């Protein structure tokens, strides 16, 4: 029996960083753990350079996500002007960067998800500094601005955080929460839910397979991540688990 913090994520654009090499910046189709921990950290007022507090929060939380709407892929060909790196020089603003006479143009391709909607469930380890209710309160009145993976991806709806007390399983906790679907006209479909979860104790779902993602945050300062295992299944909208592929 656990307490579950459950909230909805929706925006016209979202980006859930995958492994990035060179000029291509891909996005996973559902939120990464680093994105969810980053969102919770922003709500709590934990800065990126507070490595110990960031790690404490990441270690305290397990998360699961239900994909309510997959959305569509948008691929952006991105150009930006940046100055050459100079040892000992730190530019704190975009204005300072563009004031430099020696500007270079960098190219990158960036992926986004359009009109995707997710229901996120977070559980907190026993003895952790933050409770599910404390996190819910901060998501209602966050210290810093919240966004969906990148600063260019703002939230389009309130998170509507809810705490489900002493739920027997993740499945029951998700099933007990409803949101106003009238707020998402044309977004939700009859496609099965896709469920991803990292802690397999008391999930209540019939696992179909396991994937490995490198999205567990180690250091926000050095932008380092470790691997973790994520379980998966698909569930029909009426609640019947689909047969394994």
* Predicted model pTM: 0.86
Q: C-alpha 219: how far from its chain's center?
A: 16
Residues in contact with 125: Cβ distance below 8 Å, sequence separation at least 6, in sequence order: 59, 60, 61, 62
Residue 50 has a pLDDT of 93
Alpha carbon distance 233, 245 (integer Å)? 10
Q: Considering only the top CATH level, what class is 2-72+114-235?
A: alpha beta
**Which residue from 170, 130, 163 is spatially nearest to 5, judged by alpha carbons?**
163
Q: Which two tokens mark 128?
A: 């952790």
In order along its 245 residues, the chain shows pLDDT tens digits of 899 999 999 999 999 988 777 788 889 999 999 999 999 999 999 998 999 999 999 999 999 999 999 999 999 998 888 888 888 888 888 888 888 878 888 888 999 999 999 999 999 998 899 999 999 999 999 999 999 999 999 999 999 999 999 999 999 999 999 999 889 988 998 889 999 999 877 899 999 999 999 998 888 888 888 999 999 999 998 644 444 33
Enumerate helices (H) and strands (E) in the chain, giving the number of each.
5, 11
> Are β-strands 61-69 and 193-197 bridged in parallel, bridged antiparallel, or unpaired?
antiparallel
Residue (of 70, 75, 83, 80) closest to 24 by Cα position: 75
Q: What is the pLDDT of residue 139?
A: 97
Structure tokens at 237: 């909208």
């Amino acid at each position: 029996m656990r307490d579950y913090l459950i909230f909805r994520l929706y925006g016209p654009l979202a980006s859930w960083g995958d492994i990035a090499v060179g000029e291509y910046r891909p996005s996973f189709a559902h939120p990464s753990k680093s994105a969810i921990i980053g969102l919770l950290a922003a709500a709590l007022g934990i800065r990126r350079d507070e490595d110990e507090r960031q790690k404490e929060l990441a270690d305290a939380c397990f998360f699961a996500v239900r994909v309510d709407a997959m959305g569509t892929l948008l691929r952006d060909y991105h150009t930006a002007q940046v100055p050459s790196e100079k040892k000992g020089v730190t530019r704190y603003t975009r204005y300072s960067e563009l004031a430099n006479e020696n500007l270079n143009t960098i190219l990158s391709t960036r992926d986004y998800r359009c009109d995707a909607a997710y229901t996120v469930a977070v559980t907190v380890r026993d003895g952790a500094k933050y409770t599910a209710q404390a996190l819910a309160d901060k998501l209602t009145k966050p210290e810093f601005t919240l966004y969906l993976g990148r600063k260019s991806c703002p939230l389009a709806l309130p998170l509507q955080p809810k705490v489900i007390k002493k739920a027997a399983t993740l499945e029951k906790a998700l099933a007990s929460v409803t949101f106003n679907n009238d707020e998402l006209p044309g977004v939700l479909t009859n496609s099965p839910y896709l469920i991803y979860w990292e802690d397999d104790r008391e999930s209540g779902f019939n696992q179909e397979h396991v994937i490995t993602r490198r999205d567990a945050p180690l250091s926000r300062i050095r932008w380092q991540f470790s691997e973790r295992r994520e379980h998966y299944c698909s569930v029909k909208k009426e609640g019947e688990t689909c047969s394994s592929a």
